[in-house]
């Protein structure tokens, strides 16, 4: 195996590792947020989505094992930054939890979808499948927009919360990439150069603006 191939395989393991830990923590967060739901239907909806995240987690772990990697070791470098992000952005209300999952997770998903374009076909298909919406997007938009219609003042508070989430998410993402050379190399080689990375980030920013608008919030 050539040196470039080794680096690519290591980058794939890193990518699957960070995704797997993200899915595991998504299960934890959705299950916790479900207990804040104002209705039984809302609680059931989030519990169902949490179950889907565990299914994704299992698929990613299986793929890591196929690659000869230990899932726990693959996830371990990302536990601290992901946990730090979630500890620092713990929602205090049902609506904050919905916005966090929709905006924060959406931003991460957009990034990983972009990176998936640099992977082999089978790994790309897996990444796209685990990033597919489990129904949370439409549910979050419906609930948040209804709450803003009932009390417009909520919109301003949630917009501030969303901006804080994005700032924290970008900070932690930069930390992860800076500490994982393989991921940084995959990103730069895949986009061609730093200008390509900038274009990728612009696409993610544009998608975030659309997502905020769908929630009825200003970005």
* Kind plus residue range of the DSSP H or E element containing 158: helix 153-179
Q: Residues of the chain with pLDDT > 90: what percent?
A: 40
pLDDT of residue 4 exceeding 60, the answer is no
* pLDDT (tens digit per residue) in 92-112: 999 999 999 888 888 888 888
The more confident residue out of 69 and 190 is 69
Distance between CA atoms of 78 and 91, rounded to whole angstroms?
21
Long-range contacts of 202-209 (CB under 8 A, 24+ apart): 203/110, 203/114, 204/107, 204/110, 204/111, 204/114, 207/106, 207/110, 208/103, 208/106, 208/107, 208/110, 208/166
- Mean pLDDT score, 3-22: 76
* pLDDT (tens digit per residue) in 43-93: 998 888 889 899 999 999 999 999 999 999 999 999 998 998 888 898 999
Distance between CA atoms of 213 and 172, rounded to whole angstroms?
24
pLDDT of residue 6 exceeding 80, the answer is no
- Which range among 120-134, 140-154, 179-193 shows the weakest confidence by mean pLDDT? 179-193
pLDDT of residue 150 exceeding 90, the answer is yes
Q: Residues of the chain with pLDDT > 70: what percent?
A: 96
Tokens of 159: 């917009």
Give the pLDDT confidence score for residue 219 in this predicted structure.
62
| Residue from 102, 100, 86 nearest 140 by CA | 102
- Mean pLDDT score, 187-192: 82
Distance between CA atoms of 145 and 123, rounded to whole angstroms?
36
Query: What's the predicted TM-score (pTM) here?
Result: 0.86
pLDDT band at 2 (very low <50, low <70, confident <90, very high): very low
pLDDT band at 8 (very low <50, low <70, confident <90, very high): low
- Mean pLDDT score, 138-167: 92
Q: Which superfamily, per CATH, for 3-215?
A: Ferritin, core subunit, four-helix bundle (1.20.1260.10)
Give the pLDDT confidence score for residue 141 in this predicted structure.
92
Q: Phi/psi at 151 (nearest 5 deg)?
A: -150, 90
Per-domain boundaries in the chain? 3-215
């Amino acid at each position: 195996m050539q040196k470039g191939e080794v680096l690519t395989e290591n980058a794939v393991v890193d990518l699957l590792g960070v995704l797997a830990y993200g899915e595991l923590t998504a299960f934890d967060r959705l299950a916790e947020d479900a207990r804040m739901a104002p209705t039984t239907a809302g609680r059931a909806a989030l519990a169902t989505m949490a179950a889907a995240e565990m299914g994704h987690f299992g698929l990613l772990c299986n793929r890591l094992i196929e690659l000869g990697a230990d899932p726990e070791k693959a996830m371990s470098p990302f536990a601290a930054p992901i946990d730090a992000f979630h500890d620092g952005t713990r929602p205090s209300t049902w609506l904050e939890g919905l916005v966090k999952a929709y905006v924060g997770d959406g931003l991460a998903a957009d990034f990983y979808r972009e990176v998936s374009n640099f992977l082999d076909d089978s790994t790309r298909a897996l990444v796209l499948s685990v990033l597919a919406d489990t129904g949370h997007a439409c549910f979050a938009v419906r609930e948040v927009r209804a709450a803003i219609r009932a009390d417009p003042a909520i919109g301003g508070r949630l917009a501030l919360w969303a901006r804080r989430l994005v700032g924290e998410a970008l900070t932690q993402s930069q930390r992860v990439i800076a500490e994982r050379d393989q991921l940084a190399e995959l990103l730069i080689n895949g986009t061609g150069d730093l200008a390509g990375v900038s274009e990728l980030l612009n696409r993610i920013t544009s998608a975030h603006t659309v997502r905020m608008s769908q929630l009825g919030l200003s970005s």
